[in-house]
Amino acid sequence: MAITLIPSSSKQTQHIVFEGVSWATYQALLHDLGDRRSSRLAYDRGTLEIIMPSDLHEFINRFLEALVRVLAEESNLRLRGYGSTTLDREDLEQGAEPDACFYIQNVGRILGKKLDITTDPPPDLAVEVDITSSSRRRFGIYLQLQILEVWRYTKSRGVVIYQLQNGEYVECEFSPTFPMISGAVLGQFLQLADTEDDISVVRSLRQWLRTQNAPPSA
């Protein structure tokens, strides 16, 4: 088994890649690690990736998750968040744990059920936060799972919105799910979080959304 270790300080996301890992080993590792862990696992036909998020990674992830919930509420959309739940399919020999994922358009098809990604639809939106490691490997898994929208944060570009079109992920200026929201707008609220607390930023987002949805004055 080949191992690639990307070293980092305690304040950075740690990233380890194993080659030649069987599906059975991947499943056994998921079972042994359990649900009470901070690490994220991704498996792609023999390649196992383990990501251990930093505090900055988790702040941005939780912050974007909060923004998605506000967007859904203010847009009168139904929502069910599944956080970093394991999305795996043995028939594809692939699995991933996004930083966050949500059912929105398909929420009615999974309510009241134990989620089974083999037979149930995939999440409608996934969020990936890249601080010191790339989520590109997981994009290939999301492609096979047919997740239609992915938000990816990087320090160099901020939030970039991708939509699955014709078998590949294409950058979009605006979110297909929330048409008033662009990567630039999300970036502005992330910048605001540098100087404001979470509640203040959420309040600002609500006010901005209500301004956008307000009918024009006579």
Over the stretch 103-127, which tens digit does the pLDDT of each residue have? 999 999 999 989 999 999 999 999 9
Residue 2 lies in a domain: no
Residue 198 lies in a domain: yes
- Range of 145-149, 154-158, 209-213 with top mean pLDDT: 145-149
The Cα 95–Cα 7 span in angstroms is 24
Confidence at 152, pLDDT banded by 50, 70, 90: very high
With helix as H, strand as E and coil as C, how does the chain read?
CEEEEECCCCCCCEEEEEECCCHHHHHHHHHHHCCCCCCEEEEECCEEEEEECCHHHHHHHHHHHHHHHHHHHHCCCCCEECCCCCEEECCCCEEECCCEEEECCCHHHCCCCCCCCCCCCCCCEEEEEECCCCCHHHHHHHHHHCCCEEEEEECCCEEEEEEEECCEEEEECECCCCCCCEHHHHHHHHHHCCCCCHHHHHHHHHHHHHHHHCCCCC
Residue 119 lies in a domain: yes
- Name the residue range of residue 144's domain: 54-213
**More confident call, 134 vs 54:** 54
Tell me the pLDDT of the chain averaged across its residues. Answer: 90
Which two three-digit tokens encode residue 102?
């949500």
Answer whether residue 25 shows pLDDT above 90. Answer: yes
Provide the domain count of the chain: 1
Residue 205 lies in a domain: yes
Q: What percent of the chain has pLDDT over 70?
A: 91
Residue 13 lies in a domain: no
Residue 9 lies in a domain: no
Least confident of 16-30, 36-50, 139-153, 156-170: 36-50
**Per-residue pLDDT, 214:** 61
Confidence at 10, pLDDT banded by 50, 70, 90: very low
Which two three-digit tokens encode residue 92?
């594809």
Residue 183 lies in a domain: yes
Determine if residue 174 is left, alpha or beta; phi over 0 gives left, psi from -120 to 50 gives alpha, anything else beta.
Answer: beta
> What is the rounded end-to-end Cα distance, in angstroms, of the chain?
69
Any idea what the CATH number is for the domain that residue 143 is in? 3.90.1570.20
Residue 129 lies in a domain: yes
* pTM of the predicted structure, to 2 decimals: 0.89
The Cα 192–Cα 197 span in angstroms is 9
